[in-house]
Amino acid sequence: MNAPDSEAGKGLKVLETGPDAAGQRLDQWLSAALGADFSRNRVQALIKLGAVQIGGKPVTEAKRKMAAGENVSVDMPEPEPAEPRGENIPLDILYEDAELIVINKPAGLVVHPGAGNWTGTLVNALIHHCGDSLSGIGGVRRPGIVHRLDKQTSGVMVAAKTDLAHRALSEAFADHGASGDLERAYSALVWGIPPRMTGTVDAPLGRAADRVRRAVVPEARDDARHAITHFTVREKFGEGRPDTAQASLVECRLETGRTHQIRVHTAHIGHPVIGDPDYGQAFRTKANRLPEPLKTLVKSFPRQALHAGLLAFRHPATHILMKFEAPLPGDMQELVRGFRNP
């Protein structure tokens, strides 16, 4: 393996493969060539982003076999911080003690640092608020985090402040409350009115074609993960009116906790979450046929209308059953009022 032979510009690193590269996977070779700061996972992410070129052409297959004498250029990202730093970001704290903290997360707040969001996250806020008590709890990138909500989903979250709390809460979330008292309920404003007031969606989830989204997949697929969502219709809007004005406020309770589970499952049964940019695209034109001012309200709603309204768990130290609720945030309340009185 040869050292970088030039720096073709800011952030661009150019390398040439030596005889030892022949037959190696691109991600394997490139991770070794770039050094300890670039793990194989990080290199794979760069490849997927199109940041790696061989012979002047982008390569997006991490498993591509290398040959000697190839020119490989990498559009290097800005250096990542070694670990998150505390930032004075306001927190809506519902409860706090020496073991844990419960917050009402606003929509728009990313839970932990990652690609494109190395600052301004809930983790940065927790480090500032909790100080050294979070050090080492749950890993460098995700100190204290035992579960997550999507960036644009609001609602109740708990974070651990000690190893004891982190272990106990992580176990509770890992088995989704099957062996304990974990309870989670979400409010979702969805398009249309389900035919039944209560129901269950039992459909395995796996990666979609773009590898970021999730989709209902055959159970036999290698990446299929068991997923069950129970729903109850709490309020119906627009019964007897044109279909475009119909919507429902639905409570969803999770028996499993897969990525995007509620959003995928509601879309799967034909009632996607209003405002969902990933799973509700087929329903976007419905807003065009709504009466004003509801039409403008729906079209300008900046996120999926999903809120984690209830979280209950047994305290890891006292073993007392604790229950926390957060009302619908203002933007969802306004949307509900709009459908009540279109």
Query: Mind telling me the catalytic residues?
Result: 150
Q: Structure tokens of 223?
A: 């990446």
* Residue (of 302, 197, 207) closest to 264 by Cα position: 207
Rounded to whole angstroms, how far apart are CA atoms 191 and 48? 34
* Residue (of 175, 106, 125) closest to 314 by Cα position: 175
Q: Name the burial class of residue 335, with classes exposed (0-12), middle (13-18) and buried (19+) by CB atoms within 10 angstroms of its CB.
A: buried
- Dihedral of alpha carbons 213, 253, 165, 135, sign: positive
- Report CA Rg, the chain: 23
Say if residues 140 and 295 touch (Cβ distance below 8 Å): no
Rounded to whole angstroms, how far apart are CA atoms 121 and 148? 12
Rounded to whole angstroms, how far apart are CA atoms 133 and 143? 10
Rounded to whole angstroms, how far apart are CA atoms 262 and 205? 11
Rounded to whole angstroms, how far apart are CA atoms 84 and 220? 39
- Measured in residues, the chain has a length of 342
Say if residues 333 and 318 touch (Cβ distance below 8 Å): no
